[in-house]
Amino acid sequence: MIKLASIVVIGLAISTAAVAQTAARMNHSISPSSTTVTNWYKQSVYDPKDSKIGEIADVLVDKSGRIDSVIVSVGGFLGAGEKDVSVPFDAIHVTNKNNNKWYLVMNATKDQMKEAPGFTYNKDSTSWVPDKK
Protein backbone atom coordinates (compact mmCIF):
# COMPACT_ATOMS: atom_id res chain seq x y z
CA MET A 1 0.00 0.00 0.00
CA ILE A 2 2.87 2.35 0.82
CA LYS A 3 4.42 1.59 -2.60
CA LEU A 4 1.15 2.46 -4.35
CA ALA A 5 0.85 5.70 -2.40
CA SER A 6 4.46 6.59 -3.26
CA ILE A 7 3.84 5.95 -6.95
CA VAL A 8 0.72 8.12 -6.91
CA VAL A 9 2.57 10.98 -5.15
CA ILE A 10 5.48 10.79 -7.61
CA GLY A 11 3.06 10.67 -10.55
CA LEU A 12 1.21 13.75 -9.29
CA ALA A 13 4.48 15.61 -8.77
CA ILE A 14 5.61 14.82 -12.33
CA SER A 15 2.28 15.80 -13.89
CA THR A 16 2.16 19.04 -11.85
CA ALA A 17 5.68 19.91 -13.05
CA ALA A 18 4.67 19.19 -16.67
CA VAL A 19 1.61 21.45 -16.37
CA ALA A 20 3.76 24.19 -14.82
CA GLN A 21 6.28 23.92 -17.68
CA THR A 22 3.50 24.13 -20.27
CA ALA A 23 2.01 27.18 -18.56
CA ALA A 24 5.45 28.81 -18.48
CA ARG A 25 5.78 28.33 -22.24
CA MET A 26 2.42 30.01 -22.84
CA ASN A 27 3.24 33.10 -20.77
CA HIS A 28 5.78 34.79 -23.00
CA SER A 29 5.89 38.22 -24.56
CA ILE A 30 5.18 39.00 -28.20
CA SER A 31 7.74 40.92 -30.20
CA PRO A 32 6.45 44.30 -31.44
CA SER A 33 7.72 43.37 -34.92
CA SER A 34 5.51 40.25 -35.05
CA THR A 35 2.65 40.01 -37.49
CA THR A 36 -0.08 37.46 -38.05
CA VAL A 37 -0.21 34.92 -40.86
CA THR A 38 -3.45 36.67 -41.84
CA ASN A 39 -1.35 39.62 -43.02
CA TRP A 40 0.37 37.32 -45.53
CA TYR A 41 -2.31 34.83 -46.56
CA LYS A 42 -4.15 35.85 -49.77
CA GLN A 43 -1.95 38.96 -50.14
CA SER A 44 -0.55 40.02 -53.49
CA VAL A 45 3.17 39.67 -54.19
CA TYR A 46 4.98 42.19 -56.42
CA ASP A 47 8.31 42.32 -58.25
CA PRO A 48 10.79 45.16 -57.56
CA LYS A 49 9.22 47.20 -60.40
CA ASP A 50 5.83 47.08 -58.62
CA SER A 51 4.26 44.61 -61.08
CA LYS A 52 2.03 41.99 -59.50
CA ILE A 53 3.53 38.48 -59.60
CA GLY A 54 0.80 36.54 -57.83
CA GLU A 55 -0.87 35.91 -54.50
CA ILE A 56 0.07 33.98 -51.35
CA ALA A 57 -2.04 30.79 -51.45
CA ASP A 58 -0.58 29.09 -48.38
CA VAL A 59 1.98 29.54 -45.62
CA LEU A 60 3.93 26.37 -44.76
CA VAL A 61 5.24 25.71 -41.26
CA ASP A 62 7.96 23.13 -40.56
CA LYS A 63 7.83 20.61 -37.71
CA SER A 64 9.67 23.00 -35.37
CA GLY A 65 6.94 25.62 -35.87
CA ARG A 66 8.91 28.00 -38.07
CA ILE A 67 7.57 29.34 -41.35
CA ASP A 68 9.49 27.43 -44.01
CA SER A 69 8.01 28.59 -47.29
CA VAL A 70 4.97 30.09 -48.95
CA ILE A 71 2.97 28.96 -51.94
CA VAL A 72 2.48 31.75 -54.48
CA SER A 73 -0.25 31.38 -57.12
CA VAL A 74 0.84 32.90 -60.42
CA GLY A 75 -0.68 33.33 -63.84
CA GLY A 76 -4.11 32.41 -64.97
CA PHE A 77 -7.34 34.32 -65.18
CA LEU A 78 -10.11 33.78 -62.64
CA GLY A 79 -8.35 30.63 -61.44
CA ALA A 80 -7.93 29.03 -64.89
CA GLY A 81 -4.32 28.38 -65.91
CA GLU A 82 -3.07 29.27 -62.45
CA LYS A 83 0.15 27.70 -61.16
CA ASP A 84 1.23 27.29 -57.52
CA VAL A 85 4.95 27.76 -56.84
CA SER A 86 6.84 27.14 -53.59
CA VAL A 87 9.02 30.06 -52.51
CA PRO A 88 11.35 30.19 -49.49
CA PHE A 89 9.84 32.42 -46.83
CA ASP A 90 12.94 34.63 -46.70
CA ALA A 91 12.68 35.33 -50.46
CA ILE A 92 9.74 37.66 -49.77
CA HIS A 93 10.13 40.90 -47.87
CA VAL A 94 7.82 43.66 -46.72
CA THR A 95 8.05 47.10 -48.31
CA ASN A 96 6.04 50.25 -47.71
CA LYS A 97 4.17 52.09 -50.44
CA ASN A 98 3.70 55.86 -50.56
CA ASN A 99 0.82 55.89 -48.08
CA ASN A 100 2.87 53.76 -45.66
CA LYS A 101 0.75 50.64 -46.37
CA TRP A 102 3.04 47.64 -46.52
CA TYR A 103 3.08 45.11 -49.32
CA LEU A 104 5.03 41.97 -50.24
CA VAL A 105 7.91 42.03 -52.73
CA MET A 106 10.26 39.38 -54.08
CA ASN A 107 13.18 39.58 -56.51
CA ALA A 108 11.58 37.61 -59.33
CA THR A 109 9.37 38.33 -62.31
CA LYS A 110 6.03 36.81 -63.16
CA ASP A 111 7.66 35.01 -66.12
CA GLN A 112 10.34 33.49 -63.87
CA MET A 113 7.64 32.26 -61.50
CA LYS A 114 5.67 30.74 -64.40
CA GLU A 115 8.81 28.79 -65.41
CA ALA A 116 9.41 27.47 -61.87
CA PRO A 117 8.24 23.96 -60.91
CA GLY A 118 4.61 23.87 -59.82
CA PHE A 119 2.92 22.20 -56.88
CA THR A 120 -0.58 20.82 -56.31
CA TYR A 121 -2.40 20.54 -53.00
CA ASN A 122 -3.23 16.93 -52.15
CA LYS A 123 -6.38 16.91 -49.99
CA ASP A 124 -5.87 13.28 -48.91
CA SER A 125 -2.40 13.88 -47.43
CA THR A 126 -3.07 17.58 -46.68
CA SER A 127 0.27 18.48 -48.25
CA TRP A 128 1.70 20.14 -51.35
CA VAL A 129 3.15 17.71 -53.90
CA PRO A 130 5.07 18.36 -57.15
CA ASP A 131 2.78 19.06 -60.08
CA LYS A 132 2.83 16.28 -62.69
CA LYS A 133 2.27 18.61 -65.65
Q: pLDDT tens digit string along 69-84?
A: 999 999 876 666 789 9
Burial of 70 (0-12, 13-18, 19+ CB in 10 A): buried
**What is the phi-psi region of residue 101: left when phi exceeds 0, alpha when psi lies from -120 to 50, beta otherwise?**
beta
How does the average pLDDT of the chain come out, rounded? Answer: 80
Backbone angles phi, psi at 110, to 5 degrees: -60, -40
Whether residue 73 contacts residue 86, with contact meaning beta carbons closer than 8 Å, is answered with no
Handedness of CA 105, 107, 110, 116 (dihedral sign): negative
Q: Once rounded to an integer, what is the mean pLDDT over residues 94-122?
A: 88
Whole-number Å distance between alpha carbons of 121 and 86: 11
Read off the pLDDT band of 9 (50, 70, 90): very low
Segment 31-60, tens digit of pLDDT = 777 777 777 788 999 999 989 999 999 999
pTM exceeding 0.85 = no
Alpha carbon distance, N-terminus to C-terminus of the chain: 68
Q: Which CATH class is domain 37-130?
A: mainly beta
